[in-house]
Structure 1
Amino acid sequence: MRNIRSTFAAIILVLLLSVVVLQWGRLSAIHTWFPMTAPENRHFLTMSTNEITRETNLKISLLENNSVDSQDAIDNIRYALRYAKIPFEEVDKEDLNSLEPDPFHVLVVAGEHTSEWPYESIEAFVNKGGRLMVALRHGGSDPKWNDLTGIEETNDFVSDTVHGLTIEKPVFPGYNDLSGEHKLLSHSVLDVELSKSAVVYLTVKHIPVMWTYPHGKGKVGFWNTTVTKEKGMRGLLLQSLSLLPPSFVMHQSGIKVTYLDDFPSPIKDEFVHGEGMGYGAFLKDVWWDRIKKLQKDYNLSLTGAFIGTYQDKTDLNTEELIKRQKYPMLYYGRQLENSGGEIALHGYNHQPLVVKEDNHPLYRKKEFNPYLLSVEVGPTHFYNPYGYKIWKSESFIKRTLKDTNQLFQYYFPKEKIQTYVPPSNILGKRGLDALLESIPSLNVLASLYFGEKEDESFIQEYEFDHKYSDLYHFPRTASGHGDSPEDLFLITDAIANQGVFSHFIHPDDRTDPERAQGRNWEEMSEGLEGMYQFISKNFPYLESLTQQEAREKMITYQQSKIDVRYQEDSITISGEDMLDPSVALVRIQPGKHLETGEFSFGEVEVMQASSGLYIVTLRKPSVTLLLKEDVS
């Protein structure tokens, strides 16, 4: 009897082992995910026969000095890393002697201060496997640094500023070449000759601008330019960092917002030359029909930004505003809302909310023009090229904004104004105070993402206001009809960093000579559709949202906690309060790849095969991606 029981137990054991072997075979044919309930359970099965290395996080160390160039370039990288949810640390030059070399440890430096850097420590760090990114070119005068960065010979600085950019090797989809005629990027560069082992990604006038170079067991990235100080380079900076470690994960919010600025608005009494009709007929029968077709074809969620009047004067009361806005609010506003869109505020009129006490730079330009005199709006000695007038008091602003809010409530009693778009992207501090006091339901301020800090425009980051805790800054990244190379470059860079596309379309672009640039509506319409085709083709994972939906998603994304662990043959992503679904861009260096397709955790797609870039859509809070060896 005992022998029978032993034999039966042996049979059961063989069957169980068979099931395990079959299951192992099934798992090794696919990517899989393993729930991780606690940090101690992070060990997981891997389908590689290679030796499993220790699990590690990506570590990025930032070093800057007190030069403006260094600080601006490193600050851009800080923002790029925060937006992509990649942790980093600040280091001092004294810390460089104790850096731990690791393929997943990147040291980032910038600026012409190589004499302050301990060369021997940095060289040893790279030689033993660490990664180095020079994020803004140094002088190249010390040959030992040239040996580390792949420079064979330096022929001093190029005497003139050079413009443009040429993509020699793909870094991220969507970036286009900029010729020297395009002034978006202005470089100060070294005329260099590189080692044959250097891989050049970007050039300007045949001069290498960004390259990578293997050194010992490590790798170096070098930006031979000062253009990394510009905000419109954050996406390229992030993507260049991703070229250095064996693998690199960047998270994205995945947001697409389309604004209709000055809409709904009073109908202008003007003739649209070249189209053979008045502005009202053009808006209704041509422009609006085209926008609705774009909305349908590209699944757009629309956010309109209305104004009460185009008049500069402030003597229209609530009843008069309601009467004048009856047709646009009922016809356009209700269509907008019924199609799933929303309506934001652009202002009582198109005058920026600025009072004398703001001392705003735009209003310091004392260009006398007697035709711009206006008793209602205040002091007549403040003038500017745009003809804007300064408000004479905050109380005036509050009164007109309350009238505008009552106008909105009359036509949309179940809704409330939550987003404000400042006219011409100009806003004073006291104007903002008056705005929030008059309309306390406001929780989004939407101005500009790109621009100079010292400019008169209101430039923003994606963040909560430092004074008003519930007010979120959600700037736009583009406007117009998206058909210039500079527009597409900046659109791509914002997406390459954090996956955001926020675009403003103006109904009166056709009637504005500067914005129309001699084009008829058909040509402008083709450019607009071309831009949305570009977005749909290159970045299909962006989700069309209204501004309020985008606010909610962005805040959730920024407040989520995401942890990425790297091993030789796998990447483990886990997190708390993540978006569902969550989007990650994963770059894998040559020699390995991710399998693509639909899996239990989500989906893996090739984003750019030539650069090892993948889109990973996660529908689980934890996933292990297995890295497969390339078959030669």
Structure 2
Amino acid sequence: MDHKVRHFGQLFGIFLCFVGLGIFFLFQRRGIFYTPGENRAPGAFGPREYTEKDVDEEHTCLVVCDSSQPESMTFMEEFRQVLLDMRVSYQETDAADGLSLELSSYETAVFALSDLECLRDHITELSGWVKGGGRAMFPMSLQRTPVMDLLSQRFGIMEMGYEYSRVDSIALADGFMAGGDGVYPIDDGYESALGLRVRDDCKIYASEGTTGLPLIWSADFGDGKFVMVNMGFYEKAYRGFYSSAYTLLEDIAVYPVINGSVFYIDDFPSPVPSGNGEYVMRDYGMSIGNFYSSVWWPDMLKIQDQYGLRYTGLIIETYEDHTGIGLPRNEDIADYGYFGNMILVKGGELGIHGYNHQPLCLDTFQYEEDLGYNAWESREAMVSALTEVLSFSKELYPEEEFHVYVPPSNVLSPEGRQVLGNDFPNITSIASVYLPGESAYDQEFEIAQDGIAETPRIISGFNVDDYMRIAALSELNLHFVNSQFVHPDDLLDEDRGAALGWEYLKGRMTAYFDWLYGSVPSIRRLTGSQMSEAVRQYCALRLWKLPEEETLYITAEGVRDEAWLMIRVNEGSLGEVKGGELTQLTDSLYLLKVTDRDIEIMRNR
């Protein structure tokens, strides 16, 4: 009898244990353990406060372009934004209107030309200005012309041909760019760089990875210098290479940066696909739902802990393609509670992707490619859809505020954009894409007139390819940002790498993080709303610098939150700081956290 009692007691104890575990996981799945986190702290700026990039009225840089040269105009489309973002005050002149070169009042000059024949009557003036201490940059691959022959020795060129050479990779000198040591393959390289050799006394900062052809170098000339860029890539993804080259002109260059790394998970939480995925079944022998909850999401949480990430999840209520008024509510919410609250518990944030995955477009919107989407019936229907998904989300996560909007497929019509700005004041940030694409709503890091922060994503997917790696490196050096998005169903789509398998894709993603956070461990891990706040501060910042023999003086106006500067030191190094905190990124690059309006930094010669 005692034996039976003991046996029953053991079974009852095991039963209670299982009941307890079941209740625990049920509560966890419903999010009962979630309490509002520290990311609810109010920002230093108003939710829709407009801040504008402003530069000094006194122009310090002359930019010469030529509207008769198509490549010059292509380059200028990107370079104007580079100079604005770096707060370089410049005067632009078009050589096609007749060139009167008055250089004496400028510290730097940029000649955005591939054909230098317009400088024929100005060679002596240009050479004399640089020899006397001026700094000139030629950022475009040059054509060999008689004027080029006359200037080539001043540019540090020892010999050159007439043909362009192929650029398939870029090898960067140690310390030139943050995260830039090593060789970076070029996707779809072509004959873009003039074949040439430079003198041994030139400083080479970038070269073709296989041939060693110089791509970026500087050549001293008298008391001044020439900075030459011989790459021939004028796309948005390469802006950071040109900003880095520009910083070589001055003994000390200072410009504002954002300092933030954000990781978005689009379509998450959302209805989990039913059934089996071909490659999930191949590798794990389980349904999509079980794979998400028992393999993929636990791995994502481990990765989050390993690299200190703060996920921003973007909610989809349903995948039904209704685009009218009177939308049905999704009642299947079990997975929302579990996945969404785990994001919040771990210090992340939830934003809005859409009621469904139909972009906010009316039938007047012209897609550049057929994406298979339905148009919304009216403006009122778009308002109704956003109202519904916000209500649905607030019911699930009553403490969350849903400030971030990500357009489905990164497509957003002017009418949809106007709806967000006028009808939903709680939306303070739109995160679409940085790089242009067919039908894409591509953005700059800026504050729109309606006060919404434009906070574009730079790279996508778990498998960061060569082109995205170049773009990531570029933006790390222009804005000191990393912004990436993935989808859970990337693992189901062969076009997004599903056939490679999750283990391979996970390895590719962690290899990217190893490079990023190994190169710049000081970059801030932010949520989408925190990135919005960082962009507001970045846009509000105005700078003045005065480098003297022993001290660098910086005045920073508009500082209300954490403000950050990038400093390039081409002569000497930096030491003790008053009014800020200095982090050395490379031998010549520093990241400065601004704590006071007036900053003093000792210079070491």
Q: TM-score, normalized by length of structure 1?
A: 0.78
Q: Quick one: which amino acid aligns to residue 288 of structure 1?
A: W
Distance 1:482 1:602 in 2: 37
Q: Does the Cα contact within 8 Å between 1:157 and 1:188 map onto a contact in 2?
A: no
Aligned length: 534
1:364-400 deviations in Å (ceiling 9; x for gaps)? xxxxxxxxxxxxxxxxxxxx2x433333443433333
SS in 1 for 2:516: helix
Of residues 252, 275, 289 in structure 1, which corresponds to 2:284? Answer: 275
Deviation for aligned residue 1:436? 4.4
Q: Does the Cα contact within 8 Å between 1:275 and 1:521 map onto a contact in 2?
A: no
1:258-317 deviations in Å (ceiling 9; x for gaps)? 111111101110322222211111111222212222222222222111111122245896
Report what 1:85 is aligned to: 87
Distance 2:385 2:562 in 1: 42
SS in 2 for 1:627: strand
Of residues 579, 585, 591 in structure 2, which corresponds to 1:607? Answer: 585
Report what 2:604 is aligned to: 628
Deviation for aligned residue 1:92? 5.5
Instruction: Kindly report which structure 2 residues correspond to 1:207-356, keeping only aligned pairs within 5 A, or say none.
Output: 207-227=213-233, 229-271=234-276, 272-273=280-281, 274-314=283-323, 320-321=329-330, 323-324=331-332, 326-356=333-363
Deviation for aligned residue 1:494? 0.6
Q: Quick one: which amino acid aligns to residue 129 of structure 1?
A: G
1:567 and 2:573 are equivalent in the alignment: no
1:195-228 deviations in Å (ceiling 9; x for gaps)? 333222222343222211111221001112321x
Q: Does the Cα contact within 8 Å between 2:453 and 2:532 map onto a contact in 1?
A: yes
**Pair 1:525–1:316, CA change in 2 (3 A):** farther
**Pair 1:199–1:544, CA change in 2 (3 A):** same
Of residues 72, 93, 113 in structure 2, which corresponds to 1:111? Answer: 113
Distance 1:541 1:83 in 2: 21
Distance 1:177 1:69 in 2: 26
Instruction: Kindly report which structure 2 residues correspond to 1:477-488, keeping only aligned pairs within 5 A, or say none.
Output: 477-481=458-462, 483-488=464-469
Report what 1:61 is aligned to: 62
Distance 1:179 1:346 in 2: 33
Q: Does the Cα contact within 8 Å between 2:355 and 2:385 map onto a contact in 1?
A: yes
Deviation for aligned residue 1:584? 2.4
Of residues 494, 515, 520 in structure 1, which corresponds to 2:501? Answer: 520
Q: Quick one: which amino acid aligns to residue 124 of structure 2?
A: E
Of residues 144, 152, 156 in structure 2, which corresponds to 1:150? Answer: 156
Distance 1:68 1:130 in 2: 28
Distance 1:400 1:152 in 2: 65
Q: Does the Cα contact within 8 Å between 1:60 and 1:107 map onto a contact in 2?
A: yes
SS in 2 for 1:586: strand
Q: Does the Cα contact within 8 Å between 1:402 and 1:438 map onto a contact in 2?
A: no
Q: Does the Cα contact within 8 Å between 1:178 and 1:486 map onto a contact in 2?
A: no
SS in 1 for 2:575: coil
1:389 and 2:374 are equivalent in the alignment: yes
Of residues 399, 415, 430 in structure 2, which corresponds to 1:445? Answer: 430
Report what 2:406 is aligned to: 421
**Pair 1:63–1:568, CA change in 2 (3 A):** farther
Q: Quick one: which amino acid aligns to residue 63 of structure 2?
A: L
Q: Does the Cα contact within 8 Å between 1:149 and 1:222 map onto a contact in 2?
A: yes
1:174 and 2:179 are equivalent in the alignment: yes
1:559-605 deviations in Å (ceiling 9; x for gaps)? 12222111233211122232554332222224x22237xx5544333
Q: Does the Cα contact within 8 Å between 1:169 and 1:200 map onto a contact in 2?
A: no
1:595 and 2:600 are equivalent in the alignment: no
Distance 1:239 1:545 in 2: 25
Report what 1:98 is aligned to: 102
Distance 1:316 1:413 in 2: 25
Distance 2:603 2:423 in 1: 56
**Pair 1:516–1:140, CA change in 2 (3 A):** same
Instruction: Kindly report which structure 2 residues correspond to 1:394-543, keeping only aligned pairs within 5 A, or say none.
Output: 394-436=379-421, 439-452=424-437, 455-466=438-449, 469-481=450-462, 483-516=464-497, 518-543=499-524
Q: Does the Cα contact within 8 Å between 1:247 and 1:587 map onto a contact in 2?
A: yes
**Pair 1:600–1:127, CA change in 2 (3 A):** closer
Report what 1:18 is aligned to: none
Q: Quick one: which amino acid aligns to residue 240 of structure 1?
A: A
Unaligned runs of 5+ residues in structure 2 are 1-57
1:78-115 deviations in Å (ceiling 9; x for gaps)? 3223323343333455786431277xx21011123422
Distance 2:139 2:585 in 1: 25
Percent identity at matched positions? 24
Deviation for aligned residue 1:360? 3.0
Q: Quick one: which amino acid aligns to residue 162 of structure 2?
A: D
Instruction: Compute the RMSD of aligned alpha carbons.
Output: 2.6
Report what 1:189 is aligned to: 193
Q: Does the Cα contact within 8 Å between 2:463 and 2:505 map onto a contact in 1?
A: no
Q: Quick one: which amino acid aligns to residue 403 of structure 1?
A: E
Q: Quick one: which amino acid aligns to residue 61 of structure 2?
A: I
Q: Does the Cα contact within 8 Å between 1:169 and 1:202 map onto a contact in 2?
A: no
Distance 1:132 1:581 in 2: 34
Distance 2:591 2:463 in 1: 25
Distance 2:521 2:533 in 1: 20
SS in 1 for 2:585: strand
Deviation for aligned residue 1:623? 1.9
Deviation for aligned residue 1:245? 1.7
Q: Quick one: which amino acid aligns to residue 414 of structure 2?
A: K
Q: Does the Cα contact within 8 Å between 1:190 and 1:224 map onto a contact in 2?
A: yes
Distance 2:296 2:235 in 1: 35
Q: Quick one: which amino acid aligns to residue 200 of structure 2?
A: K
**Pair 1:436–1:628, CA change in 2 (3 A):** closer
Distance 1:172 1:464 in 2: 27
Distance 1:436 1:187 in 2: 45
1:512-561 deviations in Å (ceiling 9; x for gaps)? 21222532222222222222222222122221221112111211221122
Q: Quick one: which amino acid aligns to residue 82 of structure 1?
A: L
**Pair 1:409–1:606, CA change in 2 (3 A):** closer
Of residues 121, 124, 129 in structure 2, which corresponds to 1:125? Answer: 129
Q: Does the Cα contact within 8 Å between 1:574 and 1:623 map onto a contact in 2?
A: yes
Report what 1:371 is aligned to: none
Q: Quick one: which amino acid aligns to residue 123 of structure 1?
A: S
Q: Does the Cα contact within 8 Å between 1:259 and 1:304 map onto a contact in 2?
A: yes
Distance 1:488 1:440 in 2: 35
Q: Quick one: which amino acid aligns to residue 615 of structure 1?
A: L
Distance 2:268 2:144 in 1: 53
**Pair 1:529–1:264, CA change in 2 (3 A):** same
Q: Does the Cα contact within 8 Å between 1:255 and 1:499 map onto a contact in 2?
A: yes
**Pair 1:416–1:585, CA change in 2 (3 A):** closer
